[in-house]
Amino acid sequence: MTPQPRPAATYTVKEVAKLLRLSLGGTYQAIRAGEIPAKRIRGRWIVPVTRFHAWLDAQDDDPAGTQLAA
């Protein structure tokens, strides 16, 4: 049996921008501001998949939309 590939543990900033339908620059800005959970490793930003989805789910708790300014 061939082992199944594991899903990625992280997203790139480009992938997050696409998921959120934001510009790449706006996504970097939100990451640098700490609005989107991310880590910088060796000069590269990565977004942990589980933290990203938990953060995204929590955005439903903010009906005014104040947690992420597009």
How large a percentage of the chain has pLDDT more than 70? Answer: 86
**49, part of any domain:** yes
Q: Which domain holds residue 15?
A: 10-60
CA distance 39 to 10: 10
- Residue type for position 53: H
Find all residues with CB under 8 Å of 36, minimum gap 6, and list them: 16, 27, 30, 47, 52, 55, 68
Which amino acid is located at 17 in the chain? A
pTM listed for this prediction: 0.77
Q: Express each pLDDT in 18-36 by its tens digit.
A: 999 999 999 999 999 999 9
Helix axes 13-20, 24-32, angle to 10 degrees: 110
8-state DSSP, 40: E
Considering the domain boundaries, does residue 70 fall inside one? no
On whether residue 3 sits in a domain, the answer given is: no
Whether 69 is covered by a domain: the verdict is no
Q: Is residue 4 part of a domain?
A: no
Task: Please tell me the total count of domains within the chain.
Answer: 1
The answer to whether residue 53 scores a pLDDT higher than 80 is yes
Check which CATH number belongs to the domain holding 41 and give it. Answer: 1.10.10
